[in-house]
Structure 1
Amino acid sequence: MKEQIRKEMLGKLRQVPAEERIRMEQQLTAAVCASDEWKAAKTIGVTWSNFPEIATAGIIRKGLEEGKRMVIPYSGKNRVMTFHEYLPDTPMARSKFGIMEPVDKSKPVPSEAIDLLLVPGLAFSEIGYRIGFGGGYYDRYLASYKGRTLSVLFPFQLFEDPQWEIEAFDVPVQKLLTATF
């Protein structure tokens, strides 16, 4: 069931008209940066998104402009994810999953230093359970992460009731911000 929903959501994300996508992404960036969670956070974890995901470049840029410490994940061995500080001159490379990750992984930022984590996903239930991209990296990370979590999504990614089985290791995202059409 999860794989079917992943496929369906990826298809829908690819079909969002460019003008509508830009408008909704700008709306979501503004909503994130206006949130209490953002305002209170000094260090923010966020994935450098890849089309057709919702763009995070604006969120990262805004965080740097506001003097926040932005940290980007690295997908390591045994599905262990670590976060590393990102600055505009940070060398990045495409991972085996096609996402941009920091090249230098020598200084991971401990999870307790991350105040807010923007969690990616393809489908979300109204109570925060999500279907990710299938690697399990975020599920493992969230199992011990104690900070605030937030996800951004387009309206069609939100399900009133989960259409999938919630598993014992699933950790719900604390706050969902949904764009409007």
Structure 2
Amino acid sequence: MTEKKELRKEMLAKRDALAGDEKEKYDVNICAQIEAIIKARDVKVVHTYLPMGSEININPLIEKMLAAGITVVNPKALKQRKLQNLVLNSLSELEEGIYGTQHPAGGNEYNGDIDLFVIPGLAFDTNNYRLGYGSGYYDTFLVTPPNAYKVGICYPFQVVDKVPTETHDVQLDKVVW
């Protein structure tokens, strides 16, 4: 879909161009909002990405969660749009994955319930739909945990009126920026 491709390109360029100080302010604010959701919902298990490139740096939040005894689960991208859930023990114990990603080292797989998903994206709309990188990993993955609270995170300029959607796209519960 050309519309999706163009929107991805535009948002990636805008995100890459975000100045360091401004990016850091947004990152801190977004992490604080997620932390408030964790406390309000008494979250025990969080599934979150490990930031790469110009994505929102949630590493300080991950460190806080680990220190608070919250189980942090990260995805490992596998073939055929599958994600394996791995338990994170430390941000210093990571392995390189596909597409420039990282995942927890050791292969300690998590198969239990997840309370909260923190999901990156290139664009989100006012109906809580997301536009990802185009590989379809999250769309395939998010259909299985219907009771988990799904939160997308982005910079304010990544919020658009309408993201082009298809039938397989999963609506999130909330988007914070």
Q: 4+ residue runs of structure 1 moved beyond 6 angstroms?
A: none
Of the candidates 6, 26, 33, which is equivalent to residue 31 of structure 1?
Answer: 33
TM-score under structure 2 length normalisation = 0.92
SS at match of 2:99: coil
Q: How far apart in 2 are the matches of 1:177 and 1:92?
A: 27
Q: How far apart in 2 are the matches of 1:124 and 1:56?
A: 18
Paired-residue identity, %: 27
Q: How far apart in 1 are the matches of 2:34 and 2:138?
A: 19
1:10 alignment partner in structure 2: 12
Query: CA deviation digits over 1:80-126, x for unaligned, max 9?
Result: 10211101176322212101112333x4212x511101111110011
2:142 alignment partner in structure 1: 142
Query: CA deviation digits over 1:27-75, x for unaligned, max 9?
Result: 1111110125764210000010102111121121111122100011000
Residues 1-181 of structure 1: pairs in structure 2 closer than 5 A: 1-35=3-37, 39-88=41-90, 91-105=93-107, 107-110=108-111, 112-146=112-146, 147-162=148-163, 164=164, 166-178=165-177
Q: How far apart in 1 are the matches of 2:66 and 2:46?
A: 10
Unaligned runs of 5+ in 2: none
- Indicate conservation of the 8 Å contact 2:117/2:151, yes or no: yes
SS at match of 1:78: coil
Between 85-94 and 64-73, report the one with greater CA deviation.
85-94
TM-score under structure 1 length normalisation = 0.90
Unaligned runs of 5+ in 1: none
Computed over aligned residues only, the root mean square deviation of the Cα atoms, in angstroms, reads 1.6
Q: How far apart in 1 are the matches of 2:91 and 2:156?
A: 34
